[in-house]
């Protein structure tokens, strides 16, 4: 009996058909936009709400490849660089601190008694509510934006590292001790290598929150950055810039996610194979 191609529980679309199916929604979205945009522009050539693809391309070309007269740089790349730097430093620091706190707290009962309650408590504070405090104490430039991203992601990462550490069977810890491990070596040789791939996975998932805090901070106080540009352009109803920027942010997020996923799959094959 042949499996159906498309419908039902037993469907097995081949590789080609699967690709085609996946493309359909994208084509529909782009096509739908194009039709709606053409219809509005036919009625009013100055319509700003749904700009034509050609207008978007022109605007982006201007931002990406012509020197800005005021700053002397290329606005698009400057925005991208600034945003990625803030995101990278914020989430990167959060990952390091999350590992440095979550692992020992998960492993050593004394530290757990000392820190677990306070970490859990702090993690409940909504980071955006801290933004005014950050602006007041660190000023409105780089530092407060990075600190916001850091605070917005560090607790989730810490708690996840903690839970991952706790999930390592007690048998493994005892086994390591019978093989001569010191209390420190259990952390560095047994727990750390098993937590690392999970940490990369968690960073992947946390990047979403990272972008959120990045754009929130840039929207409120900044002089460059992808979020800053979007909110600046909002004043001029410049959808021809806003839409490509949103698409660009999505693309960057996708590439970051894919990169981390590939690292986990390449470097930690055992993790992919054994996780349940």
Report in angstroms how near the CB of residue 165 gets to another protein at its nearest: 14
Among 52, 97, 185, 212, binds another protein (CB under 8 A): 185
Q: Which of 12, 71, 172, 262 binds another protein (CB under 8 A)?
A: 172
Least distance CB 272 / another protein (angstroms)? 10
- Shortest reach from residue 261's CB to another protein, in Å: 18
Measuring CA to CA, how many Å separate 184 from each of 102, 127, 161? 15, 33, 17
Given candidates 2, 129, 169, 266, which one binds another protein under the rule CB under 8 A?
169
# binding residues, another protein (CB under 8 A): 24
DSSP sequence for 245-260? HHHHHHHHHHHHHHHH
In the complex with another protein, the residue whose CB is nearer, 116 or 185, is: 185
User: Going by C-beta distance under 8 Å and a sequence separation of 6 or more, which residues neighbour residue 234?
Assistant: 242
Whether the Cβ atoms of residue 41 and residue 52 lie closer than 8 Å to each other: yes
Cβ neighbours for 264, distance < 8 A, ≥ 6 positions apart:
197, 200, 201, 271, 272
Two tokens at 41?
Answer: 């522009």
Among 62, 123, 128, 189, binds another protein (CB under 8 A): 189
179 φ, ψ to 5°? -95, 10
Q: Under rule CB under 8 A, which residues in 240-269 are in contact with another protein? A: 268-269
Three-class SS of 134-162:
HHHHHCCCHHHHHHHHHHHHHHHHHHHHH
Q: Specify the residue, 77 or 270, whose C-beta has the smaller distance to another protein.
A: 270
220 touches another protein (CB under 8 A): no
108 lies in the site for another protein, by CB under 8 A? no
* Site residues (vs another protein, CB under 8 A): 169-172, 174-182, 185, 189-190, 193-194, 268-271, 273-274
């Amino acid at each position: 009996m042949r499996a159906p191609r498309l419908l039902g529980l037993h469907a097995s679309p081949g590789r080609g058909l699967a690709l085609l199916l996946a493309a359909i929604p994208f084509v529909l979205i782009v096509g739908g936009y194009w039709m709606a945009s053409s219809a509005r522009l036919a009625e009013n050539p100055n319509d700003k709400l749904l700009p034509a693809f050609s207008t978007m391309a022109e605007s982006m070309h201007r931002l990406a490849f012509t020197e800005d007269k005021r700053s002397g740089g290329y606005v698009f790349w400057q925005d991208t660089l600034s945003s990625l730097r803030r995101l990278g430093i914020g989430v990167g620091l959060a990952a390091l601190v999350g590992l440095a706190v979550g692992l020992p707290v998960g492993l050593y009962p004394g530290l757990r008694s000392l820190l677990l309650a306070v970490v859990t408590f702090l993690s409940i504070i909504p980071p955006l509510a801290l933004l005014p405090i950050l602006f007041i104490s660190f000023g409105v430039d780089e530092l407060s934006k990075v600190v916001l991203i850091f605070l917005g992601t560090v607790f989730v990462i810490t708690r996840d590292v903690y839970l991952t550490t706790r999930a390592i069977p007690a048998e493994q810890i005892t086994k390591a001790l019978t093989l001569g491990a010191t209390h420190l070596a259990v952390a560095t040789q047994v727990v750390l290598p098993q937590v690392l791939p999970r940490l990369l996975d968690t960073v992947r998932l946390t990047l979403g929150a990272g972008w959120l805090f990045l754009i929130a901070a840039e929207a409120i106080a900044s002089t460059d950055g992808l979020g800053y540009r979007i909110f600046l352009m909002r004043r001029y109803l410049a959808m021809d810039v806003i839409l490509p920027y949103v698409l660009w942010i999505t693309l960057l997020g996708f590439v970051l996610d894919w990169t981390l996923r590939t690292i986990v799959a390449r470097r930690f094959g055992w993790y992919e194979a054994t996780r349940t």
